[in-house]
Amino acid sequence: MSFHVIQQAPARLNRSELAVPGSAPQMFEKAAESEADVIFLDLEDAVAPDDKAQARKNIIKALNEIDWGKKTMSVRINGLDTHYMYRDVVDVVEQAGERLDVIMIPKVGTAADVYAVDMMVTQIEDAKGYKKRIGFEHIIETALGMQNVSDIAAASKRNESLHFGVADYAASTRARTTIIGGVNPDYSVLTDPLDDGSRAVHWGDMWHYALARMVVAARANGLRPIDGPFGDFSDPDGYKAAARRAAVLGCEGKWAIHPSQIALANEVMSPSEAEVTKAQRILKAMEEAAAAGKGAVSLDGRLIDYASIRQAEVLVEKARQISGA
Ligand code: GLV
Ligand code: MG
């Protein structure tokens, strides 16, 4: 362990994050009643240029008037390369900052981008006398953003999470994709022939490097890594497979671009009862080991040590958060 202690972002459940276009107010009530942990009301790519101003008004009204319960509320502002962004920040934070928990910044490319938004939000919060500090969620979705992901992750105390925006990332890196967040059969290996001449094709995950890189930057800075969209909402199995592989790498949640994906994300991103029971047994066994002056013991024929305690504690804490949700 380094001498440097990693400050963790405020603990929030972020298993599912529902995207709702700001230009579709008829969807807001249903979203508020959903089981999503986080909702982001979108001003960016789901909203056409002519609808941006009205979408802003819809979002401000909805944040102030709808009962969103305990949900974490986010607004995805437009990118810093557009002229919409400054008014998104000024209008939404000035007029609805009390109910806004986090701002989602798309296409963030450098630490200076984060600084710029931080400066604006700080001035507005101070001027309005808000007590609560608004957090930041960053979408890592460009080659530049991925190159600078560590600096971005460390750029502000407001930072809470990093999100892998696979659709724009594919566009930015010119990756060959079929569906958003899905697999491509061309990203595969052909095994050498066996004695009988047979060969097999093993599909790989073309997003592995990007997702793993982002997870490391997030965790090294105490932030939540979140996997982004899966475009084919008529393929729940494909969605769950994508969510599971993200969870295996350390992601805490995944976007839902359709309400049907919320339950899938919540299911995959919640520890199972068996996992929680096992974690509790590990903690108990290690407590007994410590009392007996031992640092490592075996449980069910496997070695457990202090690293097992840390993993088990994370799991038990997550289960506690979920049961209190
Ligand atoms: C999300 O914004 C994405 O581009 O995937
Ligand atoms: Mg995007």
Which ligand number lies closest to the CA of residue 107?
2
pLDDT tens per residue across span 202-241: 999 999 999 999 999 999 999 999 999 999 999 999 999 9
Compute how many other C-beta atoms are within 10 angstroms of the C-beta atom of residue 291: 8
Ligand 1: atom nearest CA of 168 is 4
Residue range 164-193: average pLDDT? 95
16-270, CATH topology level: TIM Barrel (3.20.20)
Concatenated DSSP letters for 240-272?
HHHHHHHHHHT--EEEESSTHHHHHHHHHHSPP
Which ligand number lies closest to the CA of residue 210?
1
pLDDT tens per residue across span 65-118: 999 999 999 999 999 999 999 999 999 999 999 999 999 999 999 999 999 999
| Closest C-alpha residue for ligand 1 atom 1 | 165
What's the pLDDT band for 325 if we cut at 50, 70, 90?
low
CA-nearest of 258, 255, 253, 249 to 269 is 253
| Closest C-alpha residue for ligand 1 atom 2 | 165
Q: Ligand 1 mean position to 99 CA, how many Å? A: 24
Percent of the chain with pLDDT over 70: 99
Which ligand number lies closest to the CA of residue 257?
1
The residues lining ligand 1, judged by C-beta closer than 6 Å to any ligand atom, are 106, 139, 141, 165-168, 228-229
| Closest C-alpha residue for ligand 1 atom 3 | 165
Q: Ligand 2 mean position to 106 CA, how many Å? A: 6
CA-nearest of 107, 257, 248 to 181 is 257
Q: Ligand 1 mean position to 193 CA, how many Å? A: 39
pLDDT for the residue numbered 301: 87
Using CA atoms, how far apart are residues 36 and 226, in angstroms rounded to an integer? 14
Using CA atoms, how far apart are residues 104 and 136, in angstroms rounded to an integer? 6
CATH code 3.20.20.60 region(s) in the chain: 16-270
Ligand 1: atom nearest CA of 171 is 4
Q: Ligand 2 mean position to 286 CA, how many Å? A: 44
Provide the residue type at 132 as one letter: K
Report the number of secondary-structure helices (H) and strands (E) in the chain. 12, 12
Ligand 1: atom nearest CA of 228 is 5
pLDDT at 178 over 90: no
pLDDT for the residue numbered 27: 98
Q: For residue 57, what are its two tokens? A: 């008004």
Q: Ligand 1 mean position to 222 CA, how many Å? A: 23
Instruction: Give me the half-sphere count of Cα atoms (radius 13 Å) on the Cβ side of residue 69.
Output: 14
Q: What is the value of pTM for the model shown?
A: 0.94
Mutate to test the pocket of ligand 1, among 139, 214, 255, 257 (most ligand atoms within 8 A of CB): 139
CA-nearest of 158, 151, 145, 154 to 117 is 158
Backbone torsion region of residue 301, taken as left when φ is above 0, otherwise alpha when ψ lies between -120 and 50, otherwise beta: left
pLDDT tens per residue across span 240-293: 999 999 999 999 999 999 999 999 999 999 999 999 999 999 999 888 888 888
